[in-house]
A = this chain, B = another copy of it.
Amino acid sequence: MKKAVVLFSGGLDSTTVLHLAKSQGYEIYALSFNYGQRHSKELEVAKKAALAANVAEHRVVSINLDAWGGSALTDSKIDVPEYNEANTEIPVTYVPARNMVFLSIAASYAEAIGARDIFIGVSQVDYSGYVDCRQEFIEAMENAINNGTVCAVEKGEPIRIHAPFMKMTKAEEVLLGTKLKVDYSLSWTCYNGGEKACGVCDSCVLRLKAFEEAGIKDPLEYENR
């Protein structure tokens, strides 16, 4: 069975991509990060969901990217903003080069376990200042990986980064996931770490909009709607 490393935060995108990879016959090695997010809810949910999805392995890598702050997701001194459609600035929830760091570590993991496929749930469609969600970046990163790993350079076994949602909207993801029978009650998207999802942060608003557009009921409970 072919192994795949799946970048898995437990959110909507990565939950869907994990089940998509599974449906394509891959044995799943899920990889999550503890990178100084302000709450541990995301990781708790990810652990349960990975277990429920019957992955071969689920690793959590700890890395203190919060060391240099600069993001509301890792710096407890910056407030997480509420959603504002007019805001076209780079969001303060941006962690510098986050996907680059995650993909590098995924490549290290892939090489160590003999996987040649990495899945990531990024989308260019919902891109709002996250430059590391773009197709150009994914291609450049795949090229770097294939110049920096022994499997690719010495054994002629390149690693491929799959970003199947690159051109899909979140609503299309939800439709695809529903077809794949993904249990979205096991996913978590909210930037805040309350018992219920807040319903007002950027991430909650985009998720709710996606379910609405898909015409499917979000099974999560929300504090405010």
Interface residues of A (CB under 8 A from B): 59, 61-65, 67-70, 90, 94-101, 103-105, 107-109, 111-113, 129, 131-132, 134, 136-137, 139-141, 143-150, 152-154
- Contact of B131 with A137 in the complex, beta carbons under 8 Å: no
Pick from A98, A139, A141, A152 the residue with the most CB of B within 10 Å: A141
- Contact of B149 with A97 in the complex, beta carbons under 8 Å: yes
Q: For A108, give its contact among B65, B136, B143, B152 (CB under 8 Å).
A: B65
Protomer copies: 2
- Contact of B129 with A137 in the complex, beta carbons under 8 Å: no
Name 9 interchain pairs, CB-CB below 8 A, sorted by A.
A63-B63, A94-B150, A96-B108, A96-B111, A100-B145, A132-B149, A140-B144, A140-B148, A143-B144
Q: A140-B147, A143-B140, A148-B99 are in contact. Are A64 and B61 (CB under 8 A)?
A: yes
Report chain B residues within 8 Å CB of A108: 65, 68, 95-98, 100-101
Distance of A225 Cα from B99 Cα, bound (Å): 46
- Contact of B147 with A136 in the complex, beta carbons under 8 Å: yes
Report chain B residues within 8 Å CB of A97: 104-105, 107-108, 111, 145, 148-149
Report chain B residues within 8 Å CB of A99: 148
Distance of A61 Cα from B36 Cα, bound (Å): 12
Beyond contacts A97-B104, A137-B147: 18 other A-B pairs, Cβ-Cβ < 8 A, are A59-B67, A63-B105, A68-B112, A96-B112, A96-B149, A97-B148, A99-B148, A100-B104, A100-B144, A100-B145, A129-B150, A131-B148, A131-B152, A131-B153, A134-B153, A139-B147, A140-B143, A140-B144
